[in-house]
Amino acid sequence: MTTLIVIIVIVSLITPSIFIAKFTKELRANNNRNVQRKTILASGTPAQAQINSIRQTNVQVDDQPEVLLDLSVTKPDGETIHTVVRTVIPIISIPTFQRGNIIEVKHMTIDNELKFEVVGAYIP
């Protein structure tokens, strides 16, 4: 009986610790992503992008929809790049983000990878 109680106590102590560790790790990752996004928007190279398609992800951030934007980005040197950007757009800006529309984006190379962010996106 004592062994069972000890096992229950140990499990009840370990389970919240694992949850807290995972939760903290996820919060740090989200914070790092938001810092990176803000850096791209503040210091990135501007470009024009045509929206090829928009799909909602069924995720909302502060009641704003997260979407996947399939974009054809034309860089200032004329090079066109196809990319898909996961971003959150303000609900009042939805008419701006329709297929065929041209939007402003910024891009930056981070860790040898070209990253894009949408100007006017919602960043918490």
Rounded CA-CA distance 101/121 in Å is 15
Whole-prediction pTM: 0.75
Res 57 pLDDT > 80: yes
**Model confidence band, residue 34 (pLDDT cutoffs 50, 70, 90):** confident
The arrangement of strands across the sheet holding 113-118 comes to 80-88, 64-74, 45-61, 102-110, 113-118
Predicted confidence (pLDDT) per residue in 62-118, tens digit = 999 999 999 999 988 889 999 999 999 999 999 999 999 999 999 999 999 999 999
Could you tell me how far CA 110 lies from the centroid of its own chain? Answer: 15
Q: Quickly tell me which residue has 């989200």 as its tokens.
A: 30
pLDDT of residue 45: 94
Res 27 pLDDT > 80: no
pLDDT of residue 50: 98
Rounded CA-CA distance 97/72 in Å is 13
